[in-house]
Amino acid sequence: MKAVLVTQRVDIHADRGERRDALDQRFAQFVFACGLLPVLVPNDMNIAQALFDAVRPVGVVLSGGNDLVALGGNAPERDATEDALTQIAKGQCVPVVGVCRGMQLLVHRAGGTLVNNAGHVASRHLVRGEVNREVNSFHGWEVHRCGPGWESLAQADDGSIEMACCAELRQWGVMWHPEREKEFAPEDIALFRKMLGASD
């Protein structure tokens, strides 16, 4: 089974003096349902580099959770780890898929524009484009504009971008959470297999 690296959110427990890496169990289960082996990455740049070298993944998935530091977030170690992984993947032509916050990071680093939109938190809406169906929504920041080299692939009715890619860099992003559906959607499984090159 081909392995993919999956990043994790940072949960802060100030009463214990701990910063914990965490991932919803359903996220790993979704990646496994795609026929891929999820390898969870601690939020440490050196460990992330070592894992990439040891595992030699066929893809990297940037999961959801935590705002970017540039948008008021408080997990700089996560930003740094995901930046490093993205650069390593770019150098080795390994695809990167960003989910929600992951897409925000990729688009923001490419010079795109993110806008606060509370109407997209804990809701469902239609997306149209390369994907035409209802999806869940849990993001407070929407992608308003993609950066240079990026293409918008699907939008919500309010014009916000819900799926985008930079084909040259093999980077993709979706704003919905496939792991948060009661049953994993076959369309999401097929889409992630395609984006990560697992359907070849």
Domain chopping of the chain, boundaries:
3-195
Residue 87 in this model has a pLDDT that exceeds 90: yes
**Which residues have CB under 8 Å from 154's CB, separation 6+?**
127, 128, 129, 130, 131, 132, 161, 162, 163
Pick the CATH number of 3-195 from 3.40.30.10, 3.40.630.30, 1.10.3720.10, 3.40.50.880: 3.40.50.880
Tell me the C-alpha distance between 69 and 13, whole Å.
Answer: 18
Q: Are strands 123-129 and 113-116 parallel, antiparallel or unpaired?
A: unpaired
Q: Give 200's pLDDT tier (boundaries 50, 70, 90).
A: low
Mean pLDDT of 179-183: 94
pLDDT of residue 166: 97
Return the DSSP state at 88: H
**Cα torsion 132, 71, 169, 24: sign:** negative
Q: Name the band, by pLDDT with cuts 50, 70 and 90, for residue 120.
A: low
Mean pLDDT of the chain: 94
Residue 143 identity:
V
pLDDT on residue 80: 97
